[in-house]
């Protein structure tokens, strides 16, 4: 009987800690406000087969100023939206694992919430 009570308390404490951690992390994350427009944006898509699609010096406007919006403007894309973020599955009919960088660095947030600035270079690569 004592062992059963002890195990129940351990499970309750574990569940409480996990729930607290999830709530704390979600409260820290705020989706950034998109800019109305960004200028002088460049996009590079490396299909990892010798083909690289490039678009230089374009503008994004209408509040659609994320790294995903830049890709969507010039490429046909397919992605999964999990609510907490998206995963790009296909670019221009090339399916696989895609990663992105902005100005040479891999952001720690998803492309659908990464707000671009004037002059940014967005690079997508099939890995």
Distance CA 127, CA 96 (A): 7
Residue 71: the pLDDT is 97
Q: pLDDT class for 55, splitting at 50, 70, 90?
A: very high
Residue 87 β-bridge partners: 80
Whether residue 118 contacts residue 40, with contact meaning beta carbons closer than 8 Å, is answered with yes
At residue 59, does pLDDT exceed 60? yes
Distance CA 43, CA 70 (A): 7
Q: Quote the DSSP letter at residue 31.
A: P
Averaged confidence pLDDT in the chain: 88
Residue 25: the pLDDT is 60
Across 60-87, average pLDDT: 92
Residue 104: the pLDDT is 97
Residue 7: the pLDDT is 81
At residue 87, does pLDDT exceed 80? yes
Q: Beta-strand (E) ranges in 35-120?
A: 37-46, 52-61, 77-81, 86-91, 94-95, 98-102
Across 97-109, average pLDDT: 95
Distance CA 78, CA 69 (A): 13
Q: pLDDT class for 31, splitting at 50, 70, 90?
A: low
């Amino acid at each position: 009987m004592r062992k059963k009570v002890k195990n129940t308390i351990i499970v309750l404490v574990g569940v409480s800690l996990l729930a607290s951690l999830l709530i704390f992390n979600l409260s820290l994350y705020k989706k950034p406000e998109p800019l109305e427009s960004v200028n002088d944006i460049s996009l590079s898509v490396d299909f990892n087969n010798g083909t690289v699609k490039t678009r230089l010096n374009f503008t994004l406007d209408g509040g659609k100023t994320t790294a995903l919006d830049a890709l969507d403007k010039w490429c046909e894309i397919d992605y999964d939206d999990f609510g907490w973020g998206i995963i790009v599955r296909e670019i221009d009919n090339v399916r696989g694992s895609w990663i992105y960088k902005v100005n040479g660095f891999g952001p720690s947030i998803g492309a659908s919430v990464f707000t671009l600035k004037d002059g940014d270079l967005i690079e997508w690569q099939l890995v």
